[in-house]
Structure 1
Amino acid sequence: MRAGDERLEKLAEIAGLATAVADRIFEQQEAGTPIPPELFRMFVRAAQMLLDNELPWPPAVERLVLEFAKRIEGIEPASQDSNVVHLIWPRGNP
């Protein structure tokens, strides 16, 4: 396998992972379950890796990024000890 093919294969896996994580976050949000910070960080890292490699986001990833952007618009910067995930999706506020 050529290095370029291997790189594209790994990026395709990352896109699949980002989609699966986005779907899981949407499921948890719809159920009113807090989103674990580790899951949120995993999503952000995968989305950033796709962006850094100039690959388009899969539809679920783009939808979640846009949802996060809408929810954090106008929120004051969080203090160091706050949980960003709860600021984005507070309980009882789907």
Structure 2
Amino acid sequence: MENTLVDKTFRDGNGKIVLAQMPNLPLIVWIVASLLSLIFTSGKTNTVLDLLANGSLFTWAWLELFQGVNYFRRALGLAVLIGIIASKIM
């Protein structure tokens, strides 16, 4: 099989097209912490949940950027990482 840019972008090492995967631990923690921060909207609990959510999403993005199975997943990690940083700057 020829290794084209489309193959490198969307296929994993086994030749399967991968756009989405089952959530890993950092993504699950981000989802749970984000949902809980909607319930606890003020105080120290909200601050801790916000920190936990941002830290776990940053970890997920970092892992995708450097260990993603294809270029699409790595680009997704980079986009989320840039989004996190931009949202904190503004």
TM-score range, shorter chain: 0.3 to 0.5
Bigger relative contact order, structure 1 or 2, given CA contacts below 8 A and separation 6+? 1
Judging by fraction of residues, say which structure has more helix: 2
Question: What TM-score results when the alignment is normalised by the length of structure 1?
Answer: 0.37
